[in-house]
Structure 1
Amino acid sequence: MRKTARLTSLAAAGLLALCSLTACANDAASTASADSGSKGDGKGTKVKIMVGGLDKVIYLPAMLTQRLGYFDSEGLDVELLSEPAGVQAETALVSGQVQGAVGFYDHTLDLQVKGKEVESVVQFSQAPGEVEIVSNKAAGDITSAKDFKGRKLGVTGLGSSTDFLTKYLAVKNGVKVSDFTPVAVGAGPTFISALQQGSIDGGMTTDPTVATILDKKAGKILLDMRTPQGSEEALGGPYPSSSLYMQTDWVNGHKETVQKLANAFVKTLKWMSTHSATQIADKMPADYSQGNKLLYAVAIKNTLPMFTKDGVMPKDGPETVEKVLKAFNPNIQNADVDLDRTYTTEFVAKAAQSTTG
């Protein structure tokens, strides 16, 4: 999610080639400059949100909220944009291209030590929703994270949360970060192809990629962090991951708009908690199932336990994330992170009082 200074994202490079960061920030501000009046095309207050992979099940609440009409009912005209990795969504946010990002909460800690004030305003999850997969060829040799040494391990992007978590699992199990090679392979077909062709020995990914790999018998699960229990076993506690996070200054200046976003997302999370995976799949765009709706519903079912029902930060979650990042990230190891500034429950608390369905 981070590494903005390196501009590894092609999307970020293209953005910076077109306009300066200042110009982009001004453009983003103009799309939702005031809670009382910034309108798009008559649909409501315009807000742009970048998602680190719209078709990933871990970020499902973003598109589902739109499909359920909850943005519209709050008087919002939300434009959902997509990048293949959370680090690119983060880049779009801090450059001012968008007002919000749907990605992992751990970016807020990473950015704070870089001097960027960003906070989670709706916490979608209490577990990473990530799975460490190994190729069939390597399965006999990689039986735990202790065997990561000398291996090529796939992540969505360098500096992404999959990169963070892979490094933590290695260090926790006695393997130095320098002892293995992270390879940016994205998700979906690119991840699967890399696994099948031997470009990676294993890697960290999410559903529906996981479900497809298992269906194709292209790999095996090494670690499953799609449930709170799996998070506890692998990471030692709840790991708040997918969230809506925004720049703190923007939040403070647009509280009415942020409240409307929180209302819409909390309503979606409550809806998800009372509907089946099949019912959820039915609401999503047809192409998300990649021609196999049954398999897509299975992917949703396996990931559903990670989601919160109210958008509230899980107890002790920020502490677990800080512990994970401090294990391998020298910037955070040597910094005092103010966890209270990395998230807020102000908006979801009000949403809980006003949301009925």
Structure 2
Amino acid sequence: METNSLTRRQLGLRAALALAACAGGSQWLVPAQAQWGERSRVPLRVAVGGKGDLHHLPLTVAERLGYFRDEGLSLDIENYTGAPLAMAAVHSGRADIGCSDYDRLIESQALGFPCRCLVLMGRTPQLVLAASPRYWPKKPLNHQRELRIGVAAPGSSAQFFASLWLLQAGISARQVQFIGVDSGASAIAAFRQGHVQALSHVDPLITLLEQRSEVQILADTRSLKGSADFYGGPMPGACMYASQTFVQQRAREVQAFVNAVVRALKWMQTASPADLARVVPTEYWLDDRAAYLAAFEKGRATLSPDGLMPDDGPATALRAVARLREGQTAPKVNLGLTYSNEWVTQAKLKFQL
């Protein structure tokens, strides 16, 4: 992949974070001496890009089943069009906790915005690169004059995933344009109307198109094997994260938040389709309940059973990020500061996992 393409992606992320920082402030920090009773009355502000996507389902389950309330928490969840905007909200102080794929935390630290994974929700990114049969294989992608790939938002993990595939396939970055298509119905419409020739996205959207024979799958991380084959090892997926400052200032709320998410992950290990249908808001189904439930069953094994970051997961993510950098040089990051299992370990003790 050419350096100039990667630079545009990084500059876009840097600009989004810096712009949001100018709009925010530091008022979100609660004094360290505040008591737990006072803090619990202040809602935690959570930023998520594409809340209805399946890889964010543990957050929805914890919310809908009242697990946050059981921990004494009140949440304000803001849904953004993509993870980069959600991350910008965290960095600017407009949100306390964010949700994104773990690899974005490595990029964020390299750009000077360090955050720490609190709890891992997915053992893979659950991303899929799918092309329209109208364009492929009738005309190979590397012969396309210009290839437009739809992603939820520019600078997202979906763009990172597609960029890795393009590099592997020998397709020049100069041939590719990434188009933000959001999630759900808008992404489907962009694909069906030919505004994009391929999608780098997650379920339930991909399964719905797949069941209707509208896509040709090029790369798939909805299984542990598929993800490990693509990334060369265990690749962490969606996680909840916060700044180190927030973690130190609001330690007890952070632990309570992680407790609720770990409890949701435990519930999802044995939840039946009927259980899920009662919990998931109908607008997340994309008008196809059967496809949604089929997507969940297909990807169930990629859910983290307990929220722990695997020992070699961060190193796999760092190698993947390095592949898109000039000279295969890894970004200067301290992986130990991008995650911690301490909160999940405490939650596992509480729920006897």
Q: Which residue of 2 aligns with 1:59?
A: 56
Shift in Å, 1:277: 3.6
Tell me the secondary structure at the aligned position of residue 258 of structure 2.
helix
Contact 1:85 1:157 in 2 (8 A): yes
Which AA in structure 2 matches 1:319? Answer: A
1:5-34 CA-partner distances (Å, limit 9, x unpaired): 4239xxx97x77xx8422xx31x2259994
Closer, same or farther: CA 171–306 of 1 in aligned 2, 3 Å? same
User: Matches of residues 15-30 of structure 1 in structure 2 within 5 Å?
Assistant: 20-22=23-25, 25-26=26-27, 28-30=28-30
Report the Cα distance in structure 2 between the residues aligned to 1:65 and 1:36, rounded to whole angstroms.
21
1:58 is displaced (CA, Å) by 0.6
Residue among 84, 89, 93 paired with 1:87: 84
Residue-by-residue CA offset, 1:267-326 (whole Å, 9 max, x unaligned):
110111122244223211122224432222112112222211110012311111111111
| TM alignment of 1:29-108, pairs within 5 A | 29-30=29-30, 34=34, 36-39=36-39, 44-108=41-105
Is 1:292 matched up with 2:288? yes
Residue from 317, 341, 344 that aligns with 2:337? 341
Q: Say if 2:58 and 2:264, in contact at 8 Å, map to a contact too.
A: yes
Using the TM superposition, give the Cα deviation of residue 142 of structure 1 relative to its aligned residue in structure 2, in angstroms.
6.6
What is the TM-score normalised by the length of structure 1? 0.88
Aligned pairs for 1:1-357 (under 5 A) are 3-7=12-16, 20-22=23-25, 25-26=26-27, 28-30=28-30, 34=34, 36-39=36-39, 44-141=41-138, 150-330=146-326, 333=329, 335-356=331-352
TM-score after normalising by structure 2: 0.89
Maintained 8 Å contact 1:121/1:343: yes
Q: For residues 327 and 103 of structure 1, what CA distance do their matches in structure 2 show?
A: 20
Judge conservation of contact 1:148–1:175 (CA < 8 Å) in 2.
no
Cα drift, residue 185 of structure 1: 1.5
User: 1:148·1:170 contact (CA, 8 Å) conserved in 2?
Assistant: no
Q: Is residue 34–residue 254 contact of structure 1 (8 Å, CA) maintained in 2?
A: no
Q: Aligned partner of 2:119: which letter?
A: V
Which 5+ residue runs of structure 2 have no aligned equivalent?
1-8
Conserved in 1, the CA contact under 8 Å of 2:16 and 2:84? no
Distance in 2 of aligned mates of 1:263 and 1:92: 23
RMSD of aligned residue pairs (Cα, Å)? 2.6
Amino acid at match of 1:174: G
Equivalent residue of 1:120, what SS? strand
The residue type equivalent to 2:36 in the other structure is: S
Q: Unmatched 5+ residue regions in structure 1?
A: none
- 1:48–1:81 contact (8 Å) kept in structure 2: yes
Write the letter of the residue equivalent to 2:311: K
Aligned-partner Cα distance in 2 for 1:147–1:229: 30
Is the 2:208–2:291 Cα contact (8 Å) retained in structure 1? yes
* Equivalent residue pairs, number: 344
Q: Secondary structure at the match of 1:217?
A: coil
Provide the rounded CA distance (Å) in 2 between the counterparts of 1:216 and 1:234.
25
Q: Distance in 1 between matches of 2:221 and 2:249?
A: 36
> Which moved further from structure 2: 330-339 or 123-132?
330-339
CA spacing shift, 1:334–1:311, aligned 2, 3 Å: closer
Task: Report the CA distance between 1:171 and its aligned residue.
Answer: 1.4
The offset of 1:120, in angstroms, is: 0.4
**Structure 1 counterpart of 2:16, which letter?**
L
- The one-letter code matched in structure 1 to 2:257 is L
- Structure 1 segments, 4+ long, off by >6 Å, are 145-149
CA–CA distance in 2 between the matches of 1:304 and 1:355?
Answer: 20
Distance change in 2, residues 1:231/1:259 (3 Å): same
Report the alpha carbon displacement of residue 139 of structure 1 after superposing the two structures with TM: 2.6
1:332-352 deviations in whole A, cap 9, x for unaligned? 936322111100001001110
Q: 1:281, 1:300 within 8 Å by CA — same for their partners in 2?
A: no
**How many angstroms does 1:158 deviate by?**
1.1
- In 1, Cα distance between equivalents of 2:328 and 2:341: 24
Output the CA distance in 1 between the equivalents of 2:73 and 2:327: 38
Per the TM alignment, residue 330 of structure 1 is displaced from its structure 2 partner at its CA by 4.9
The one-letter code of the counterpart of 1:61 is P
Q: Deviations over 1:211-245 (max 9, x none)?
A: 22124433232222111111012221111110001
